[in-house]
Structure 1
Amino acid sequence: MTQIVSQTLLAHPEQISIYPASAIADFGSTLIVAPHPDDESLGCGGAIALLHQLGISVEVLVVSDGTQSHPNSLRYPAPALRDLRERETLAALAVLGNKVAVTFFRLKDGAVPNRNSNDFDFVVTRLQKYLSSRSLQTVFLPWRYDPHPDHRATWELLTTAIDTANLSLRQIEYLIWDWDPLQRKDATLPVNVKPWRLDISTVLDLKQQAIAAYRSQTTDLIDDDPQGFRLTPEMLAHFAHPWELYLEQT
């Protein structure tokens, strides 16, 4: 029986099987792919902390530069905002695990290439080189049907690079903007994708500290752009559970 993601999974996530932290002990070298700086902490902060504690190599790839969160700020024009958000990522990852490496691809925020973009193949080639230079076993990706186009495009880029490079990787997707009922869209869960939850209760405080490191996204740090982005308390509450929800390709 097929499931509708927004109506079933997100309406009653407590009905989804929950696994202990030890369940990820066999993930091996792991890559967390974040469309924007902060997605890794919001969606996978608990998993990152647990992997680090288990002694598993974990790396983060941030795809876009994050400069569209406050496009009209005079105090933080794009170069300064990019640098700020990268510093926030480094601070967040220092909380989750002091040996978590990070790579910033710095693609334009709001314009991550999708399959219909002229530069899609160019970025896929960059990603192939990046992935092939590492001995990865598991990759966390944004949910393929996430309401945000950068998230969907990131999934397309990574899965295309994985397939064309003939890499065999465990692929696990995480939700971000589907948690917002105003943006959520119904999507049928593919038959080869299994939902499960990870118990992150022992590292929940670390995850919350990592999210709080993104002051540009959670506070009025940048107060000179009336149209600037800020994560609402209601949205942040979805990432304060003692578990994280994942969709794994089987």
Structure 2
Amino acid sequence: MAEFSFDSLPLRPADFAPTLCSTVVVAPHPDDESLGCGGLLALLRQAGVPVNAVLVSDGTMSHPHSVKFPAAARQALREAELREALALLGVSTDDLLLLDLPDSAVPTPDQPGFAEAVATLRAYLQRVQPATLLVPWRRDPHPDHRATSQLVAAALAGLSIRRVEYVVWAWERAAPEDLPQSGEATGWRLDISSVLSQKQAAIAAHRSQLAPGVIDDDPSGFLLSQQMLAHFAQPFEVYFDE
């Protein structure tokens, strides 16, 4: 099998985006929605397509040792950043679903809380009735992203909703076995050059995750590297269809 390359995937034009029709984006953490599919979300809203969002984790573990920002304050900060980012992409947060699962410990099928989260997400999808659901690539190299993929798969069982997977950590951390295997999925890139500035503004709204950050009393806290951010400054995004 030839070596896999995101850059070699076929490029679809911006006007492909509205064909996904009404969409729900599922983000494991605040910022995944902007990094992985902010351009697509902006294009959908530009075309007047309804978009709703689901946040899976509480986002508190990026700076777990902060005293100035205890867990509740970190959660509130990151939720506010998410709402700002979505607004910049044109997405309303009036019907934002917050699952409030523990950051860095989103449950998998054999763990407590998984069934309840599946039921909550499934009820939301049945009410909103999207045509398409956006979720991280099933083997994106972060345990919360993989758990989110499993949660979504369980919630979608029996529902006629198209599942489209986006890439976040697979840009940098994917082992060969994490990448799509032959016949497993159809990959494509989406031209987002016309809305790249919108996507960049949405990423910038997540100030707690970008240097110098706003949580300044946890030296071990997480910040997105410039190398990582460079992947999301490209004029295209990567997606996979089952």
Q: Deviations over 1:13-41 (max 9, x none)?
A: 1x211011111222121011100000000
- Which amino acid is 2:104 matched to? G
Q: Using structure 2 for the length normalisation, give the TM-score.
A: 0.94
What are the equivalent positions in structure 2 for 1:79-118 lying under 5 Å apart? 79-97=72-90, 99=92, 101=94, 102-118=96-112
User: Which of 38, 58, 79 in structure 2 is aligned with 1:45?
Assistant: 38
Q: Is the 8 A contact 1:57 1:100 kept in 2?
A: no
Please state if 1:137 is matched with 2:131.
yes
User: Which of 5, 27, 36 in structure 2 is aligned with 1:9?
Assistant: 5
Q: Deviations over 1:157-191 (max 9, x none)?
A: 0111111xx111111101111111xx321225252
Distance 2:206 2:69 in 1: 15
- Which amino acid is 1:230 matched to? L
Q: How high is the sequence identity, in percent, across the aligned residues?
A: 47
**Gapped regions of structure 1 (runs ≥ 5):** none
Report the CA distance between 1:98 and its aligned residue: 5.0
Distance 1:135 1:77 in 2: 36
- Which amino acid is 1:205 matched to? S
2:176 aligned counterpart, secondary structure? coil
Query: Residue in 2 aligned with 1:234?
Result: 227
Distance 1:233 1:193 in 2: 29
Q: Is the 8 A contact 2:34 2:202 kept in 1?
A: yes
Distance 2:22 2:28 in 1: 20
Q: Using structure 1 for the length normalisation, give the TM-score.
A: 0.91
Report the CA distance between 1:9 and its aligned residue: 2.3
Q: Is the 8 A contact 2:134 2:164 kept in 1?
A: yes
Query: Residue in 1 aligned with 2:22?
Result: 29
**Gapped regions of structure 2 (runs ≥ 5):** none
Report the CA distance between 1:106 and its aligned residue: 1.2
User: Which of 181, 193, 212 in structure 1 is aligned with 2:204?
Assistant: 212
Distance 2:33 2:83 in 1: 11
C-alpha change, 1:194 and 1:100, in structure 2 (3 Å) is farther
Query: Residue in 1 aligned with 2:148?
Result: 154
Q: Deviations over 1:142-165 (max 9, x none)?
A: 1100110000000000111111xx
2:99 aligned counterpart, secondary structure? strand
Query: Residue in 2 aligned with 1:167?
Result: 159
Range with bigger deviation, 92-101 or 122-131? 92-101
